[in-house]
């Protein structure tokens, strides 16, 4: 990443510089009606645009006017996708200046709806589709990507999209949306971002039967052939884009854990569903403990779910306790998992490897409410995408057990949430320390207004990516995510806590990302992983690296 990642003046007279309609069709260069009279003359645009020259601020106003006219979130998603495909600088200016309104549209929860309808609303290609039929030629396929300075790849195989399951090639909406947040929230230049879909088929029969489905209409590739495809992609990507950070996204449990373990010490990579979710949840716990005045090692965490998110959070919480001087066995005993078969306990048999560290000695319990009564947790954390699983009886029991019960309903999209904010506050008499995976409106109760905030990974992964790129770290480590959690929690003010907010406002996310990136970089230098000389001021270095969506002067 250059020392300054803002848009720069480009020589319009250069032989390679596009002109006319070609320029207007390049979203990285297009300014639309903001091209000046001089630029229109030099670049062959005279007559191709209406005569009035708009400022970017005027263009933003026009975008918002049309955005607010649209009746549904899906239509707004399509509208913003079209803007992204037409004029990147304007798209990111709109998102950055209207983060609270735009984030739920361009990412969760609406991106899930966009993925479900992907083949029906498709307009323009974005990113690279690598299919099971491309084995042996993935390198040449990636060379078709027009930019060589790729620094961040988000890759999915579409098997576990949010809480929606196997969406196959439709899952491309997730890497596209994720990378939009890397730019909007942390200033990673959009030209350095590459979304990748590993289309290995789908086991979703309804999709395969849909005539408008755009992916491979065949069962999923598995076994050694699948592993070989992933490995060929990783090898080709690193060869073409040296130093690239590769983020695994929305892989199913049976692949997510083993791929992370396979590659984490070989390349610069992480899995946001495991590690990013863990960091944002740990930050929320740190914020909640400022209210309860408790210590992390004194908590008992009961997870509704036992997949990537649950064990990722548990692993990072355990690591944080160990860093505070608690022995690992004691720390693990603070974390309990509840899966589709009930409480995860020792002796149950046939447990996946990622669950085994949390299979404690206890009688089997098949009902989550009974598990709450038996274990007396201080926090319940929902990450299983089982809508409504935090019932009134469970919240009331948590409130009986704890003066300030910690209730994290982190599943998304909204239709999969374990409970709503209004339910959590009403059923606890306003005592719940609540965080959510999908956005909820403020709740007025008993003369107080509670402002719930999302335990959204967008607080974490953009800053992690910025920090990793800016210091060219060779690996992304668990210690970096622990540092990220602490950095995020430090951004929560007493005023935030007083209104029930365990995270800072999203409008502050770029500064939050600066602090997280600096914390990541600090760990990279401490661990000897950084590829540059240490700057004197890490936060200032991060700000210099951040892209700003301003229009350059071309002539």
Give the pLDDT confidence score for residue 4 in this predicted structure.
42
What span, in angstroms and rounded, lies between the C-alpha atoms of 196 and 426?
43
Q: Residue 159, SS3?
A: coil
Is 107 considered catalytic here? Answer: yes
Q: Return mean pLDDT, the chain.
A: 95
Q: Are 341 and 367 in contact (CB under 8 A)?
A: no
- In 3D space, the residue among 375, 429, 380, 382 whose CA is nearest the CA of residue 410 turns out to be 382
- Higher pLDDT residue, 418 or 439? 418
Q: Within 13 Å of residue 200, how many CA atoms lie on the same side as its CB? A: 23
- List every span in the chain annotated with CATH 3.40.50.720: 274-555
- Length, in residues, of the chain: 555
What span, in angstroms and rounded, lies between the C-alpha atoms of 507 and 525?
29
- List every span in the chain annotated with CATH 3.40.50.10380: 58-267
What single-letter DSSP state applies at residue 452? -
Which tens digit of pLDDT belongs to each residue from 10-30?
444 455 789 999 999 999 999
Question: pLDDT at residue 186 above 70?
Answer: yes
Catalytic residue among 178, 459, 547, 554: 178
For domain 58-267, which architecture applies? 3-Layer(aba) Sandwich (3.40)
Which tens digit of pLDDT belongs to each residue from 285-297?
999 999 999 999 9
CATH code, residues 274-555: 3.40.50.720
Give the pLDDT confidence score for residue 83 in this predicted structure.
98
- In 3D space, the residue among 412, 440, 438, 415 whose CA is nearest the CA of residue 426 turns out to be 440
Give the pLDDT confidence score for residue 350 in this predicted structure.
84
Question: pLDDT at residue 2 above 50?
Answer: no
- In 3D space, the residue among 248, 269, 29 whose CA is nearest the CA of residue 146 turns out to be 29
Catalytic residue among 31, 76, 107, 286: 107
Is 213 considered catalytic here? Answer: no
Q: What percent of the chain has pLDDT over 70?
A: 97
Alpha-carbon distance values, 345 to 41, 100, 176, 333, 398 (Å): 73, 41, 39, 11, 21
Residues 352, 358, 362, 368, CA torsion sign: negative
Question: pLDDT at residue 8 above 90?
Answer: no
What span, in angstroms and rounded, lies between the C-alpha atoms of 3 and 366?
56
Which residues sit opposite 269 in a β-bridge?
Answer: 246
What span, in angstroms and rounded, lies between the C-alpha atoms of 503 and 456?
9
Q: Are 219 and 241 in contact (CB under 8 A)?
A: no
What single-letter DSSP state applies at residue 169? G
Angle (nearest 5°) at CA 205 between 202 and 209: 105
């Amino acid at each position: 990443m250059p020392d300054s990642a803002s848009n720069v003046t480009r020589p319009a007279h250069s032989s390679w510089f596009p002109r006319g309609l070609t320029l207007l069709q390049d979203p990285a260069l297009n300014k639309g009606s903001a091209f000046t009279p001089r630029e229109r003359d030099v670049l062959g645009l005279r007559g191709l645009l209406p005569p009035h020259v708009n400022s970017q601020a005027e263009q933003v106003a026009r975008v918002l006017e049309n955005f607010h006219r649209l009746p549904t979130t899906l239509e707004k998603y399509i509208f913003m996708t079209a803007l992204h495909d037409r004029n990147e600088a304007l798209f990111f200016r709109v998102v950055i200046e209207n983060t609270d309104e735009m984030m739920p549209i361009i990412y969760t929860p609406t991106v899930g709806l966009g993925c479900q309808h992907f083949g029906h609303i498709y307009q323009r290609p974005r990113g690279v589709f690598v299919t099971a039929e491309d084995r042996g030629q993935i390198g040449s396929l990636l060379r078709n990507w027009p930019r060589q300075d790729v620094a961040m790849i988000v890759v999915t195989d579409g098997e576990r999209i949010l809480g929606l399951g196997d969406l196959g090639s439709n899952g491309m909406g997730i890497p596209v949306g994720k990378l939009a947040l890397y730019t909007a929230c942390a200033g990673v230049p959009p030209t350095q971002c590459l979304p990748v879909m590993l289309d290995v088929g789908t086991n979703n029969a309804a999709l395969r039967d849909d005539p408008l489905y755009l992916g491979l209409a065949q069962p999923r590739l598995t076994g050694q052939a699948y592993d070989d495809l992933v490995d060929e992609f990783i090898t080709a990507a690193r060869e073409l884009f040296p130093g690239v950070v590769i983020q695994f996204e929305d892989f199913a449990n049976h692949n997510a854990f083993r791929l992370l373990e396979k590659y984490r010490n070989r390349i610069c990579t992480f899995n946001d569903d495991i590690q990013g979710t863990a960091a944002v949840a740990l930050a929320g716990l740190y914020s909640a403990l400022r209210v309860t005045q408790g210590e992390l090692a004194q908590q008992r965490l009961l997870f509704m779910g036992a997949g990537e998110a649950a064990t990722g959070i548990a692993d990072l919480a355990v690591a944080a306790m160990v860093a505070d001087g608690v022995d690992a066995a004691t720390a693990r005993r603070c974390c309990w998992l509840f899966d589709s078969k009930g409480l995860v306990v020792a002796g149950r048999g046939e447990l996946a490897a990622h669950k085994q560290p949390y299979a404690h000695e206890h009688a089997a319990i098949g009902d989550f409410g009974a598990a709450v009564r038996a274990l007396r947790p201080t926090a319940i954390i929902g990450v299983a995408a089982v809508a409504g699983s935090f019932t009134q009886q469970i919240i009331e029991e948590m409130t009986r057990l704890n003066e300030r019960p910690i209730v994290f309903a982190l599943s998304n999209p909204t239709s999969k949430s374990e409970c709503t904010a209004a339910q959590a506050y009403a059923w606890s008499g306003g005592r719940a320390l609540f965080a959510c995976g999908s956005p909820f409106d403020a709740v007025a109760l008993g003369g107080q207004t509670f402002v719930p905030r999302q335990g959204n990974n967008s607080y974490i992964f953009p800053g992690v990516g910025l920090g990793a790129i800016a210091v060219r770290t060779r690996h992304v480590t668990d210690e970096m995510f622990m540092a990220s959690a602490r950095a995020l929690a430090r951004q929560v003010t007493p005023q935030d806590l007083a209104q029930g907010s365990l995270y800072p406002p999203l409008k502050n996310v770029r500064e939050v990302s600066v602090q997280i990136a600096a914390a990541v970089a600090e760990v990279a230098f401490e661990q000897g992983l950084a590829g540059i000389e240490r700057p004197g001021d890490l936060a200032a270095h991060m700000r210099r690296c951040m892209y700003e969506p301003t229009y350059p002067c071309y002539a």
